[in-house]
């Protein structure tokens, strides 16, 4: 069967999840559901990144053992995904015993193959990024993503040889064997790689206990930017043995935010090349959710609480508002006021109102059972069979905001069609025409219920039910 493997980044457990994390996760869930509806064999991986200095420090501040601390926060992520109706196939934690073993085995292989060697490392360490930064990355001496001054450090360390693979990497990005999209990020990475020789990468730290000990030198640990990548393999059952490429590998789509593009477009593919594994097919980079013009982040403290959103807008409302806030890929600035406006306009008045109008008209009429009942898609029926190409292409190309626009255009057109054709009048004066008008509207709603299914699973079910039973409860209550 046609396989489809999709991943999100694994989230740091230094604090509770916020809507930035929900954003990536919902988008991946939409894509996973969409491909499932296309009849593919989908694997959707999700998880938490639990090692490192940042998390070790947070646990200390909270007066908790790191293990207890990460268990608590990881559980919060898991329960949020449940609330948001995220249907993943596995939830990987970097503290899982199996993951640790596989990472350790892999490092041993890289060490034996001389991809890793001991050396000295000097650099500027940003604990927010959990990586060394270049002078040129800083803005006013600070890490622009975390607004902190990185720490100058010099220590003996184990280093991964990056430059030996640089030419091959450039080639694979250029010919789209490793496709970085949207296009501007491919250009950005190619220009970076062509203008900078990749430095050896420090993969270990000495006095950071909360990590995975290097198998060949236990006084060092590794975490995040080698450890964490391997989740994409261990999450689908990899045991660390380079002979055993997991069945679902390579990933079809890996979602990442632009802040972690560079590591995902350099370290990650280079590790894979050393292992002799194929590279992911598509690395899709999205922009950030901003609040007041700045990336919404736990470190900056400008987050909108996801619980607040869920309470106000419900699960499907939250999923819709996040994905329709702008072009997926670009930065989007969100405010609660704008979201309330959009909720009322698109959901309460738009979709909700259209369904009520049509079902109410259908209720009070006695025309024979319309075609729509026969056109109800079956659970195993691929979406392609009931829909036209252009929206399928939009979703396939991960143009999620545009795909929603496409659906909402049908809604707007149908509203106009009702106003123009005035079916409530036709009922008496021209029953045949009334039937025709209703048939179109019911069929459109039937189609809408299918098209919104990956985005708003519960709403899709509610629409189907209302069409079948000719009974309707308001889908979305207006918010004052
Ligand atoms: N743990 C690393 C990823 C390792 S993957 C092998 C990490 N974690 S993170 O929790 O800081 O961020 C995870 C993802 O969430 C990133 O893709 C990041 O871009 C995304 N987001 C975090 N804040 C965000 C917004 N405000 N807006 C959109 N996405 C955001 O990096």
Read off the pLDDT of each residue in 127-136 and give the average, rounded to a whole number. 83
Asked if 418 and 345 count as a contact pair (C-beta separation under 8 A), the reply is no
Asked if 282 and 31 count as a contact pair (C-beta separation under 8 A), the reply is no
Strand 201-202, strand 151-160: pairing: antiparallel
Q: Atom 24 in ligand 1: which residue has the minimum CA distance?
A: 20
Nearest alpha carbon to residue 448 among 407, 406, 417: 407
Nearest atom, ligand 1, residue 229 CA = 6
Catalytic, out of 51, 54, 143, 288: 143
Ligand 1 binding pocket (C-beta < 6 A) is 9-12, 20-21, 23-24, 49, 228-229, 256-257, 259-260, 288-289, 295-297
Instruction: Give yes or no: 146 in active site.
Output: yes
Ligand 1 pocket mutation, candidates 99, 235, 260, 301, criterion most atoms within 8 A of CB? 260
Position 378 pLDDT exceeds 60: no
pLDDT tens column, 323-342: 999 888 899 999 888 999 99
Position 293 pLDDT exceeds 90: no
Catalytic, out of 18, 35, 165, 186: 18
The answer to whether position 341 is within a domain reads yes
Exposed, middle or buried: residue 136 (CB in 10 Å: 0-12, 13-18, 19+)?
exposed
Give the least confident one: 16-30, 280-294, 377-391, 409-423. 377-391
Helix 389-396 vs helix 19-37: angle between axes, to the nearest 10 degrees? 130
Q: Cis (ω within 30 of 0) for the bond into 135?
A: no
Nearest atom, ligand 1, residue 289 CA = 27
Catalytic, out of 51, 129, 172, 286: 129
Question: Per the confidence metrics, is the pTM higher than 0.85?
Answer: yes
- Can you name the residues that pair with 295 across neighbouring β-strands? 290
Claim to verify: residue 24 and residue 163 sit in the same structural domain: yes
Position 380 pLDDT exceeds 70: no
In this prediction, residue 136 carries a pLDDT of 84
Ligand 1 pocket mutation, candidates 13, 18, 19, 20, criterion most atoms within 8 A of CB? 20
The answer to whether position 48 is within a domain reads yes
Read off the pLDDT of each residue in 293-316 and give the average, rounded to a whole number. 85
d(CA 458, CA 453): 8
Position 372 pLDDT exceeds 50: no
d(CA 335, CA 304): 9
Claim to verify: residue 339 and residue 258 sit in the same structural domain: no
The answer to whether position 209 is within a domain reads yes
User: How many domains are there within the chain?
Assistant: 2
68 CA distance to ligand 1 centroid (A)? 22
- The mean pLDDT of the chain is 91
State the pLDDT confidence band at 133, using cuts at 50, 70 and 90: confident
The answer to whether position 477 is within a domain reads no
**CATH number reported for the structural domain that contains residue 365 in this entry:** 1.10.730.10
314 CA distance to ligand 1 centroid (A)? 23
Domain end position, chosen among 287, 305, 321: 287
The answer to whether position 63 is within a domain reads yes
Claim to verify: residue 232 and residue 378 sit in the same structural domain: no
Instruction: Domain of residue 463: give its range.
Output: 335-469
In this prediction, residue 388 carries a pLDDT of 66
Cα–Cα separations (whole angstroms), residue 61 to 51, 66, 403: 16, 10, 44
**CATH number reported for the structural domain that contains residue 86 in this entry:** 3.40.50.620
Q: Atom 10 in ligand 1: which residue has the minimum CA distance?
A: 11
Asked if 333 and 293 count as a contact pair (C-beta separation under 8 A), the reply is yes
Residue with the larger pLDDT of the pair 356 and 386: 356
Instruction: Give yes or no: 298 in active site.
Output: yes
Residues 6+ away with beta carbon under 8 Å from 383 = 34, 37, 38, 377, 392, 450, 451, 453
d(CA 347, CA 313): 10
Claim to verify: residue 348 and residue 269 sit in the same structural domain: no
The answer to whether position 327 is within a domain reads no
Claim to verify: residue 278 and residue 341 sit in the same structural domain: no
In this prediction, residue 384 carries a pLDDT of 54
Tokens matching residue 433:
């025409």
Cα–Cα separations (whole angstroms), residue 109 to 220, 240, 275: 17, 9, 8
């Amino acid at each position: 069967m046609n396989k489809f493997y999709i991943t999100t980044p694994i989230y740091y457990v230094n604090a509770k999840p916020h809507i930035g994390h929900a954003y990536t996760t919902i988008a991946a869930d939409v894509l996973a559901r969409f491909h499932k509806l296309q009849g593919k064999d989908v694997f959707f991986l999700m998880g938490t990144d639990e090692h490192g200095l940042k998390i070790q420090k947070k646990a200390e501040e909270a007066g908790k053992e790191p293990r207890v601390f990460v268990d608590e926060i990881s559980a919060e992520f898991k329960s949020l995904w449940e609330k948001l109706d995220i249907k993943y196939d596995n939830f990987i934690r970097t503290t899982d015993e199996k993951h640790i073993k596989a990472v350790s085995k892999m490092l041993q292989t890289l060490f034996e193959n001389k991809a890793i060697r001991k050396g000295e490392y000097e650099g500027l360490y940003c604990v927010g990024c959990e990586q060394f930064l270049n002078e040129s990355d800083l803005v006013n001496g600070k890490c622009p993503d975390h607004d902190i001054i990185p720490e100058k450090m010099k220590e003996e360390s184990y280093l991964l040889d990056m430059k030996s693979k640089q030419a091959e990497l450039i080639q694979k990005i250029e010919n789209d064997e490793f496709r970085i999209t949207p296009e501007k990020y491919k250009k950005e990475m190619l220009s970076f790689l062509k203008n900078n020789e990749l430095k050896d990468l420090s993969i270990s730290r000495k006095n950071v206990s909360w990590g995975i000990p290097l198998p060949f030198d236990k006084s060092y640990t590794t975490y995040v930017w080698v450890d964490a990548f391997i989740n994409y393999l261990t999450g689908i059952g990899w045991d660390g043995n380079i002979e055993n490429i997991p069945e679902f590998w390579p990933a079809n789509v890996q979602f990442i935010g632009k802040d972690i593009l560079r590591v995902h477009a350099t370290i990650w593919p280079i590790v894979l090349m050393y292992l002799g594994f194929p590279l992911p097919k598509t690395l899709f980079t999205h922009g950030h959710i901003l609040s007041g013009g700045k990336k919404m982040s736990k470190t900056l403290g400008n987050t909108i609480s996801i619980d607040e959103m869920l309470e106000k807008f419900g699960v499907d409302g939250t999923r819709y508002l996040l994905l329709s806030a702008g072009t997926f890929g670009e930065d989007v600035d969100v405010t609660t006021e704008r979201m309330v406006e959009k909720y009322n306009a698109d959901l309460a008045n738009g979709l909700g109102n259209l369904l009520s109008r049509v079902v109410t008209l259908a209720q009070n009429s006695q025309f024979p059972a319309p075609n729509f009942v026969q056109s109800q898609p079956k659970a195993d029926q691929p979406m392609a069979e009931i829909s036209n190409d252009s929206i399928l292409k939009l979703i396939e190309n991960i143009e999620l905001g545009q795909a929603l626009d496409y659906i909402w255009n049908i809604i707007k057109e149908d509203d106009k069609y009702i106003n123009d054709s005035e079916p409530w009048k036709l009922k008496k004066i021209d029953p045949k025409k009334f039937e025709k008008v209703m048939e179109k509207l019911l069929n459109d709603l039937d189609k809408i219920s299918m098209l919104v299914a990956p985005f708003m699973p519960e709403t899709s079910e509610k629409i189907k039910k209302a069409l079948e039973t000719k009974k309707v409860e308001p889908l979305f209550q207006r918010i004052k």
